[in-house]
Structure 1
């Protein structure tokens, strides 16, 4: 793992909308606690950090701006002056200025955490790697939900998380855990 002194922490979509029961059962109930620990470490070291917030395009979406679901969860609440990157698609790089901000700050390494592993975290990780950033995924600071495939096959939240991480590992990201990042 590279030196993280100038690595940016990107906290993706840690929002109240994921409390909506429509998502189903979730894995890794400790994700927010790990995210809070990462945020505390980045703040203490005065490293660059970015909060990504999803805004649903539809009023029926769980993250529609102005609704309770659009709000950040307490564990990931931005402090005054911290950068919030609004988005309305899966990738934190599409339709935002995130890449420009990272490049302007001379950041070559990004550390990702957030919700959900197989959707916005995965899409952002793939884009970050494709854009040339060294990308680290803190897998125990991510979580996702159970899913049903188009053929009716049910996949547990643990399966969805594990396969998303496995798909990213080595190709797009270096996978690590919160304790390993905090030890650097």
Structure 2
């Protein structure tokens, strides 16, 4: 079993992103990590985005029904790609003495990247497994290449891959 951090951050695995690359397989992989964190009695924090294009309380805003989420899991709502920006995420982590986090979710080049860069800047140690984020094809790269590109940037600079 791969090493666990002190908390698992599941970023924006919402219905609006259900057609992103490999979404269903990613849900299964995230659920496996959630299971491991639950067995170790470690916190799982779900990050949930809303803005003018993704209205709060809309169906597409909801987290995927396929996620293994429990009522006592923490949810942090955000309106910016960076999950620390104008949220209580840092307070939640500090109040629980968390210094290492594992990140997974969507979208690789937006919310995952912004959160990883900020977490690193705040002094958190970040671990990840490969291919634990998703995105869409864009005008420059297919989703697989975008994920690989960002994992290469993150590797050993911001993230320790296992």
TM-score normalised according to structure 1 size = 0.81
| Number of positions where the alignment pairs a residue of Structure 1 with one of Structure 2 | 161
SS of match in other structure, 1:122:
helix
Matches within 5 A, 1:24-43: 26-27=21-22, 29-43=24-38
Residue in 2 that maps onto 1:181: none
> Does the 8 Å contact 2:104/2:112 carry over to 1?
yes
Matches within 5 A, 1:4-15: 4=4, 7-15=6-14
| Residues 13-63 of structure 1: CA deviation (Å, up to 9, x unaligned) | 00000136xxxx62565211100111111122210121000012x1xx1x3
Structure 1: runs of 5 or more not aligned: 149-153, 177-184
| Residues 2-22 of structure 1: CA deviation (Å, up to 9, x unaligned) | 963x611000000000136xx
Matched, 1:49 2:44: yes
Residue in 1 that maps onto 2:109: 118
- Compared with structure 1, are the counterparts of its residues 110 and 129 closer, same or farther at alpha carbon in structure 2 (3 Å cutoff)? same
Structure 2: runs of 5 or more not aligned: none
Residue in 1 that maps onto 2:96: 105
Cα distance, 1:110 vs structure 2: 0.3
Select which of 129, 136, 139 maps to 2:120.
Answer: 129
Select which of 110, 121, 142 maps to 1:156.
Answer: 142
Matches within 5 A, 1:14-29: 14-19=13-18, 26-27=21-22, 29=24
Q: Which portions of structure 1, spanning 4 or more consecutive aligned residues, are displaced by more than 3 angstroms?
A: none
Cα distance, 1:74 vs structure 2: 2.1
Residue in 2 that maps onto 1:169: 155
Residue in 1 that maps onto 2:67: 76
TM-score normalised according to structure 2 size = 0.91
Bigger Rg, which one? 1
**Cα distance between partner residues in 2 of 1:15 and 1:28:** 10
> Does the 8 Å contact 2:99/2:125 carry over to 1?
yes
> Does the 8 Å contact 2:116/2:158 carry over to 1?
yes
Residue in 2 that maps onto 1:145: 136
> Does the 8 Å contact 2:34/2:68 carry over to 1?
no
RMSD: 1.9
**Cα distance between partner residues in 2 of 1:105 and 1:84:** 15
SS of match in other structure, 2:132:
strand
